[in-house]
Every structure is written in C-alpha cells, then in structure tokens.
Amino acid sequence: MPDSSELYDEWISALNEHDENRLAACFSPDGVMVTPQCVVEGREQIAWYFQQFFSAFGDFGITVTRRFSCEDGIVAEWRVTGTHTGQLLLPGGTEASRSDRRISVDGVAAYTMEGGRFVTGRIYYDQMQIYGAIGSRVSRVSPDHRLPDGKGEALRDDLPRRRDTPGV
C-alpha cells in the first residue's frame, strides 16, 4: 500500500501525462475534491473535472515546488502552466473560447488518505488569475444589485473592509 508521498507522486505523474483514469484511481471510489469552481464526488466526476483542464490546456503541466507529508495526508505547493488551446468550462456553464494565451498559476492542495487512496482533496488557487490570463472578462455587479433571493447585496465596493487582513 503506498504512503501519502508515493500516492502523490503517482497523482502528479498522471496529471502531467493527462491521464484522468489514473487520477481517478488515486482516489477512493467515493472520494471528494473541493476546488475553486465546484465540488466533485467520486472517481467519475474527478476524472471529468481534470479532463476539462486537459481539453482547455493541451500542454497542461504541473510542477511541485514544496510538499509536506504525514502518515495520512499531504499538502503541496505547485505551479500549473499551459496554453489555452481549447474551450474552458466556466462556472455557470459558459465557456471561454480558445485564446492561445499562456497561464502560470501557483496553488496549494491538501489531500487526506485512507486505505492507500485519497479520500479528500482540496485545491486552492486564484481562478480569476486564470480567467484574466486567457482574456476572459468577468463582470462586477452594481453596488445596489440584490442577490437572487432578494436578501442582501452582492459585491458592494462601499462596504467597510477589514484592514488587518492582507489582501482584503
């Protein structure tokens, strides 16, 4: 049975070879991944999620820059690069058409494992960095825009922000 470091090596190899079936096999059958765009559950959805990136970025590649492993998990920092040569599925079901622009995005992922397979994975990166790099425009809603349920407001520029939190 592989340890977390060996399983993560297999995961990275499968990512770089664009092999969604090997990626899915790194997870337990009911494994869950939480990403900036969505939550995917089970091997089939995990494979589908990564196939979207492989289709959109034909030369998708990942380089691990640092990692920390323990008995039942691993956390890694990485950089993803690629050229946007296909349709990229966006949240809400829209697509960004091919732009032929390069991306280089840093991120972090954390995985827990049981029985030699990942059971959870959490991926963190700035999806807006990808959208900006490929030239996709994201609209801000006006300050008086109400959320769909009519309760509250979305993306208010005039609301006070915590100044003690970097980047906020």
Q: Domain locations in the chain?
A: 4-133
Q: Evaluate if pTM is beyond 0.85.
A: no
List the one residue out of 29, 86, 10 whose CA is nearest residue 52. Answer: 86
What does the block give as tokens for 129? 């960095």
Cα separation, 92 vs 74, in Å, equals 31
What does the block give as tokens for 113? 């494992």
Report CA-CA distances (Å) from 153 to 97, 150, 168. Answer: 31, 8, 18
Tell me: the pLDDT tens digits for 25-80? 999 999 999 999 889 999 999 999 999 999 999 999 999 999 999 989 999 999 99
CATH topology of domain 4-133: Nuclear Transport Factor 2; Chain: A, (3.10.450)
pLDDT over 70 at 164, yes or no: no
Angle at 71 between CA 69 and CA 72, to 5 degrees: 90
Residue 91: band (very low, low, confident or very high) from pLDDT cuts 50, 70, 90:
confident
Residue 98: exposure state from Cβ atoms within 10 A (0-12, 13-18, ≥19): middle
Tell me: the pLDDT tens digits for 101-123? 999 999 999 999 999 999 999 99
More confident: 35 or 155 = 35
